[in-house]
Structure 1
Amino acid sequence: MTSADLPRRPRRPSWAGRNYSLLATAAVVTSLGSNGSLIAAAFAVLQAGGDGGDVGLVAASRTLPLVVFLLIGGAVADRLPRHRVMVAANALNCLSQAAFAALVLAGEPRLWQMAALTALGGTGQAFFGPAAEGMLMSSVEGEQAGRAFAVFRMATQGAALGGAALGGALVAAVGPGWVLATDAAAFAVAGALRCFLDVGHIPPRAPGGGLLADLRDGWREFTGRPWLWGVVVQFSVANAVVGAADAVYGPLVARDRLGGAGPWGLALAAFGAGTVAGALLMTRWKPRRLLLAGTFCVFPLALPSAALAVPVPVGVLYAVMFGTGATTQVFGVSWMTALHQEIPEDKLSRVSAYDWFGSVSLIPLAAALAGPAESAFGRTVALWGCSALVVLVTALVLLVPEVRTLARRPPPITASPPASADAERSVGGFG
């Protein structure tokens, strides 16, 4: 038997290098754990005697430090080696979740303790998110960047679906404490994987004028690109109203008109399945006008609120949620590809931080106003208002010329030495 007869191991795609593979594997591990822990944290609060308001308080305890520290996290990630920032953030998340699990397993944790530990997790995420996004974008290059981002998002969204389903089952089987402990272990494994990231290809950062100077530099980069801040403003509103509809109105409509929590849970699962399908589509489709195609795919975000306002039968709601999840991923991959193409590598984390900040900053306010809006206008009107706001801000962002015209650029052509005649014949033999 010759070497040619031996079965060959499948090779990774050219764009799936070592860093990309490590990042994707670690992200899948943490996505599995974190999506289960969200369910576990809510049930831990309820088992400790809390009510719905207490669950909301603990959830808000994660969001507040995320908003407060995001911009600082982006500046730090562009100043220090990004993989070290990621590992440190994973360590903080691991310790906070392990302490949360220990309190729950020991019995009767106090509300302030759970809120404080959740806030530590949000702080870790504020530093991790911009560093991770910058690291991912620097791990791929060339015309295959969009496909790489699509595969990454498909893997993490699939893990999120599995993590939520598995987490719910484990909470029922063994209790929330053990699910939280599993999440802590997932952060430890992911942090260990990220220790092996290679940052040798990233040019050394030039000495700066301090943290405030870095933040100002990132702000200039952000505000100097109308397409960038326009889309971020658009999503600050869209994410806020969609989040309020999903978190507040969706469960209420499901309770009153759709048959309870089960159908609503399946509707959310359909949205998650749609995101996987959308990412799969983007492994093949490369729209030339990145932001134009992506922005048109934001309009369907108005449909779930409209479907709840009617409300449509549960089968139609599942189809709406699936389609919306798919189109959302078309935007997500197009957006990441545009950032990768247009933003200098040494500013990626700061720009990502401003992006994140805009995307999440209005969510707590919208959730807080959802109840008063329902009381003032009625639930149906409030839901139609959510849909209208999504359509309005998406239509407005299309007025920005760069959103309509920014196009995918071909990779730069690198000079290579001419091939010899023998080499040309050899290559032609595979013809």
Structure 2
Amino acid sequence: MTRPPAPDADPPPVPVREPAAASGPAPRPRWAGRNYTLLSLAAVITGLGASGALIASAFAVLEAGGSATDVGLVAAARTTALIVFVLVGGAVADRIPRHRVMVVANAVNCTSQGLFAALVITGEAHVWQMVVLSAVGGTGHAFFAPAAEGMVLSSVTGEQAGRAFALFRVGINGAGIGGAALGGAMVAAVGPGWVLAVDAAAFAVAAALRAFLDVSGIPERQPGGSILTDLKVGWQEVTGRPWLWSIVLQFAVVNAVVAAAEAVYGPLVAREHLGGAGPWGLAMGAFAAGTLAGALVMTRWKPRRMLLAGVLCVFPLALPAAGLAVPLPALGLAAVMFVSGLAVEVFAVAWMMALHQEIPEDKLSRVSSYDWLGSIALIPVTTALAGPMQDLVGRSAALWGCAALVVLLTAAVLCVPDVRRLRRTEHAAAGSTGADEGRPAQQPAGQPIVKASSGGSGEGTASASVTG
């Protein structure tokens, strides 16, 4: 739901007469250069693998004799490592070439998942080993995620950036849906170990693809002081922009309460009122379909005030908690989940466009690392407190409270003038020469920015983050 439209009305493009195409497969768009293609393909491949691996890891723990608590420990180890190391990952990605950080992080994830798979396949896996390997994987993602932010947008021309990122998200969301379905079938057919092995292979392929990125036009970075100094500079970038820190704070709570509602209360409501896992699976599938639909919408829609449009789309995130509080019948719940999925994807694309436009390129990874931290930091707390809160006030009241927090915080963020006023600039529309070869545009500093770690890395994370 943590780390993800195009703005104003652009002047009409000058028509260009293209030579007649020969018969055969349609060529890729002119703006989809080598780097964009490599990044998109790598993200789709890892998205397919990671979606199945999230299912496989849970069943691997259970097959090893672990309990539901052990399943939670393995998942929590990944999230905890991500929280601990994400700020360091952001600082490192702003000191050395980001594509190198991404390749090394993919190699770390390939190794950890490969060892995880080998232990499960040989029947030698113990819960403590799975916890350690899950934490290693989370550490790899902590370095990958900030480095990945902005890479796709810097690989295309400015006037096509919104459509390019939306299409990128279409691929990731489609891979997530397909990967979950395929992963579940493979777990049943061949066992969780082989699904984890496929995920390790996916990371290896992604690392190879990202190693071939053309970075000849990107100047060598000149790191200044220490990592702490770099983090201080990133913190100043965040706190100096009201639209940015207000949305980061908003999503720190929004992601946390949505995660509690959907990860803890949702399955309980489904079991007691909707008929079990089947209807809940339908609802979660509808949410995934909504994110795919939202990404498709953003390939066409270019809101003039991108942050305003994005933040208005946060209100529907209150619908699933409210629907569970009623509770709605299965089809009604699926409908509100679809709407919320569509809305969050609109926000994700608008958010990433704002970051790309407003944050200086050499500070983007540090800013996104604070964004990621805000997106996931409270999730372990709220999911742990969901049960006690239900015992204290009742499940229905707790769910209504989750919905109310989403609405109130979103309304509060709309009171920030920069959120309402930020528009796409002519600079963003103009783009930069050679952007299709991966050269990052020089970004204007001092403008407002927004929240949502939705860089769309496609690597997958155990957290239930709306933005990323």
Tell me if 1:142 matches 2:158: yes
C-alpha spacing 1:415/1:55, structure 2 compared with 1 (3 Å): closer
* Distance in 1 (alpha carbons) for counterparts of 2:20 and 2:105: 47
Aligned partners of 1:143 and 1:410 also within 8 Å: no
The equivalent residue for 1:117 is 133
Q: Indicate whether 1:299 and 2:315 are aligned.
A: yes
Distance 1:413 1:268 in 2: 39
Q: How far does residue 400 in structure 1 lie from its aligned partner after superposition?
A: 0.8
How far apart are the structure 2 equivalents of 1:6 and 1:160?
A: 34
Distance 1:212 1:266, change over 3 A: same
CA offset at residue 108 of structure 1? 4.5
- Alignment of structure 1 residues 24-423 onto 2, 5 Å: 24-411=40-427
Contact 2:158 2:431 in 1 (8 A): no
Q: Is the 8 A contact 1:87 1:195 kept in 2?
A: yes
**Which segment is superposed worse, 159-168 or 44-53?**
44-53
> 1:80-111: per-residue Cα shift (whole Å, max 9, x none)?
11111001000000010010011111114111
Does the 8 Å contact 2:157/2:432 carry over to 1? no
Structure 2: 5+ residue stretches without partners = 1-18, 434-468
Question: SS of the counterpart of 1:79?
Answer: coil
Q: CA deviation at 1:4?
A: 6.2
Give the direction of change, closer, same or farther, for the CA distance of 1:206–1:327 in structure 2 (3 Å limit): same
Largest Rg, 1 or 2: 1
* TM-score (norm. length: structure 1): 0.93
Map of 2:5 onto structure 1: none
Tell me the residue number matched to 1:421. none
CA drift of 1:222 comes to 1.1
Whole-angstrom distance in 1 between the partners of 2:432 and 2:237: 31
Contact 2:101 2:144 in 1 (8 A): yes
**Alpha-carbon contact 1:148-1:283 (below 8 Å) kept:** yes
Deviates more, 1:293-302 or 1:213-222: 213-222
Paired amino acid for 2:384: A
Partner of 2:459: none
Q: Name the structure, 1 or 2, with higher relative contact order (CA <8 Å, separation 6+).
A: 2
Letter in 2 for 1:61: A
What is the alpha-carbon distance in structure 2 between the residues aligned to residue 335 and residue 376 of structure 1? Answer: 36
Give the deviation of 1:51 after TM superposition: 1.5
Report which of the two has the higher share of helix.
1
> Identity percentage over the alignment?
68
CA offset digits 1:48-72 (Å, max 9, x no partner): 1111111111100000010000010
Question: Can you list the C-alpha shifts for 1:9-62, whole angstroms capped at 9, x where unaligned?
Answer: 533223322111111100000000001000000001111111111111110000
Taking the aligned partners of 1:414 and 1:194, their CA distance within structure 2 comes to 23
How many residues get paired?
414
Flag the 1:161–1:415 CA change in 2: closer, same or farther, 3 A.
closer
CA distance in 2, matches of 1:8, 1:151: 22
Amino acid at match of 2:106: N
Q: How far, CA to CA, are the matches of 2:431 and 2:286 in structure 1?
A: 44
* In structure 1, C-alpha distance between the alignment counterparts of 2:50 and 2:430, rounded to whole Å: 42
Cα shift readout 1:226-268 (whole Å, capped 9, x = no counterpart): 1011111111100000011111000000111111111111111
Gaps of 5+ in 1: 417-431
Distance 2:65 2:20 in 1: 67
d(CA) in 2 for partners of 1:56, 1:135: 32
User: Shift of residue 5 of structure 1?
Assistant: 8.3
Of stretches 135-144 and 325-334 in structure 1, the one that deviates more from structure 2 is 135-144
